[in-house]
Amino acid sequence: MKIEYRSDYFDDPDAKASFERYAKAVFGLDFTKWKDRGLWDDQYKPFSAFVDGECVASICVYPSEMRVGGKRMLGAQLLTVGTLPEYRQLGIQRAIWEMAHAWILRECDFVFLFTDESAAGFYERLGLKRQPEFYETVACPKVHRQTDQSLRKLNLDIDADYAIVERLANEREMVSDRLGFYTPKLLMFMFVYLYQSQIYYVEHIDTLIVAEEEGDRLRIHDIVAARTPRLSAIEGFLAHFNKNEVEFLFCTDRLGIDQPVKKRAEDSLLFVNNDFELDGEFVFPFSIRA
């Protein structure tokens, strides 16, 4: 069996189509909506193994402009990491990682990814380490304000609503100085695939809020605006849902929250390499977990 290792091949229609078949087979991921919206870009960088012209394993790197502890950095997120079942246990992923890692060391400042317990051992063998995460919660405000009337849920199938989301994704200020990111097309992937029913627009402050209702909790995945609002500016939005608790699934240093309660994040496992350094407790924004 001859294995061909390739990168930077998305300008090859046949190879790109084979990668898409691989992604659908391994992850059930259909890129059609992302492509149709013109969101596929060169930042999504593949490192893959091919057998007889078919992609059988891959690691994709998506570099994100980030702020970590107030410093501008480039973080390399690992995505669509997998191997077709019949090609596992052959050392292919190790060879792909060596190729991807060499590029990351040249071009990026650190590595991060999100996974589950079933794959944790693989990443530990690659030399990555588990990083605990903690997010902040507050009691949900109970006061309603007149400005609540300006909020509405957006529908991405409506062109005008999609235009609002795309504009703010590109204009956004990083939601946190402690740990934030700016990658508009990756954020749009999250909106199109994962958040399509959770996007609210607060018109009077020109702000998107990604909000998930879960029992008596309101989980805020992201706040997207040209200037991140303070907590006081979105209290009416939060009170609208009449929940007991609000969870902020990103670092809240720009919101001005007074005495939040910390909770351990259990939704996924974060792995980083030794080049990532940030003191204290923190959480990577949930809206980067593509």
Which runs of consecutive H residues, i.e. helices, occur in 217-271? 231-240
Predicted confidence at residue 144, as pLDDT, reads 57
Domains annotated for the chain, with CATH where assigned, are 4-132 (3.40.630.30), 135-265+281-288 (3.40.630)
Query: Could you please report the per-residue DSSP string of 21-50?
Result: HHHHHHH----HHHHHTT---TTSEEEEEE
In tens digits, what is the pLDDT along the chain, a chain of 290 residues? 899 999 999 999 999 999 999 999 999 999 999 999 999 988 999 999 999 999 999 999 999 999 999 999 999 999 999 999 999 999 999 999 999 999 999 999 999 999 999 899 999 999 999 999 999 999 998 765 544 557 899 999 999 999 999 999 999 999 999 999 999 999 999 999 999 999 999 999 999 999 999 999 999 999 999 999 999 999 999 999 999 999 999 999 999 998 899 999 998 899 999 999 999 999 999 999 98
Beta strand 245-248 with 217-224 is parallel
pLDDT of the residue at 141: 87
* pLDDT, position 147: 45
pLDDT at 1: 84
Alpha helices in 86-230 (DSSP H): 92-107, 117-125, 159-171, 184-193
Q: How far apart are CA 1 and CA 18, in angstroms?
A: 18
What own/partner pairs with CB < 8 Å and gap ≥ 24 does 80-85 have? 80/23, 80/26, 80/27, 80/29, 81/113, 81/119, 82/22, 82/26, 82/27, 82/57, 82/58, 83/26, 83/49, 83/56, 83/57, 84/22, 84/25, 84/26, 84/56, 84/57
